[in-house]
Amino acid sequence: MSRCYIAKGIARGTAVAPPSKSYAHRLLLAAFLGGRSTTVSNIDLSNDISATIDCIKALGGIVSTEGSSVTVERGAAKADAILPCRESGSTLRFMIPVALALTGSAQFTGTAKLFSRGIGEYEKIFAAQGIKYTLGADSLKVEGHLDSGSFTIDGATSSQYITGLLFALPLLCGDSQIHITPPVQSRPYIDITLDVLRQAGVAASFEGNTINVAGGQRYALTDTEVEGDWSNAAFLDFYNHIGGEITVKGLNPDSLQGDRVYRELFQRLEGGFCTIDIGNCIDLGPVLFSMAAVKHGALFENTARLRIKESDRICDIARELEKIGAQVITYDNSVTVVPVAQEKIAALSQKSIIFDSHNDHRLAMSLTALASMFGASLQGCESVAKSFPSFFEVVNHLNIDVRHE
């Protein structure tokens, strides 16, 4: 595990938002499921995106990479393939139904942390359709073909289950319905999936809390480009709220990405103690908690899903924020952040603070911004490679000195 030191400094300059990981996963999968060679450009080969590419190859996809462009062609589907998902929850949950629809048998591998996050909604489908599965500490083996029909998914769990089904069901002979039990959280991620399906010529429609998907459809995605990532842009824009002067370019102002709301939420945190529902922007949790800790505090609602991410993002960020004197009070589905007194922030420069990323990219990027306010070390800085491999290069370019220890 590597460690770096982030020197005290004021961020200045211009940065380009990295490509959207959410769109990249989905566009690559739609390209694979089509019947033509398709190029997806503006791809950042983060660990998660590399996992999706590796799984596409394992299922028979023909993939070539040139710079930031990835060309995908379907190829012959391979039964009993081993799909290396690394630590990508999106990859695992998107690929399970697709593999069952294409081949009827596959094995998924990855870290113990990935599989500890569970596949509960799929286990219910396996039981209903007689699909055999063996779930281990770091692997999952499935045998059986996914059938069309009626599916019920808990809307309070991960939207990744819904996306996985949405990619697979159009490939089947019969029509299907996905009934989502309210509350429907992370709706923007479902909307992104529907947008990618639309781009690929695949029809699926929302009616109330039910998505109708016709069977027997064909994917026909044309060459396309991944838009900028609002989720990761938030970590860069955070510097503007702690004294920095930077411009983040490359973002689509009309994007369907739910994390586009971060700008509004940052302004609310600037205005004083407030209440924020993060049910539809759960990945913003770490950066919002961090900003609240050095501003006016806040009450965050619908936070429970933060516990089943790459880390326990409630418990682990609480440990780190307590190192600077903030307090994090946790409840079943909400979190209150009590800020550190402003006069105490300057004194933190006299301390030798060592933050821990807990192997979580979003904690690492949030804590890096905080560290620039007073100077601190970060353990596990390599975790940013999961979604934003060039993060520290970008931060260095913005006048913040980051040195690997």
How confident is the model at residue 336, as a pLDDT? 98
Same domain, 243 and 174: no
How confident is the model at residue 346, as a pLDDT? 85
Same domain, 286 and 159: no
Residue type, 97: P
Residue ranges of the chain whose pLDDT lies below 50: none
- Which positions ≥6 away from 223 have C-beta within 8 Å? 38, 39, 40, 41
How confident is the model at residue 351, as a pLDDT? 87
Same domain, 48 and 196: yes
Same domain, 248 and 267: yes
Of 283, 316, 356, 360, which residue is the catalytic one?
Answer: 283
How confident is the model at residue 366, as a pLDDT? 98
Same domain, 152 and 257: no
How far apart are the C-alpha atoms of 23 and 219, rounded to whole Å? 16
How confident is the model at residue 35, as a pLDDT? 86
CATH for 13: 3.65.10.10
Q: Which residues pair with 19 in a beta bridge?
A: 228
How confident is the model at residue 234, as a pLDDT? 98
Q: Which residues pair with 73 in a beta bridge?
A: 62
Same domain, 39 and 165: yes
How confident is the model at residue 77, as a pLDDT? 86
Contact predicate 185/155, CB 8 Å:
yes
Q: How many domains does the chain have?
A: 2
Same domain, 200 and 268: no
Task: Strand 139-143: give its sheet, edge to edge.
Answer: 81-84, 105-109, 139-143, 132-135
Q: Is 283 a catalytic residue?
A: yes
- The CA-based angle 2-4-9, given to 5 degrees, is 165
For 183, 230, 308, 312, the CA distances from 155, given in Å and listed in that order, are 5, 23, 15, 20
Domain hosting 178: range is 21-225
pLDDT in tens, 327-379: 999 999 999 999 999 889 988 988 899 999 999 999 999 999 999 999 999 99
Picking from 225, 251, 285, the residue at the C-terminal end of a domain is 225
How far apart are the C-alpha atoms of 297 and 327, rounded to whole Å? 9
How confident is the model at residue 98, as a pLDDT? 98
Same domain, 97 and 203: yes
Nearest to 362 by CA among 200, 238, 207: 238
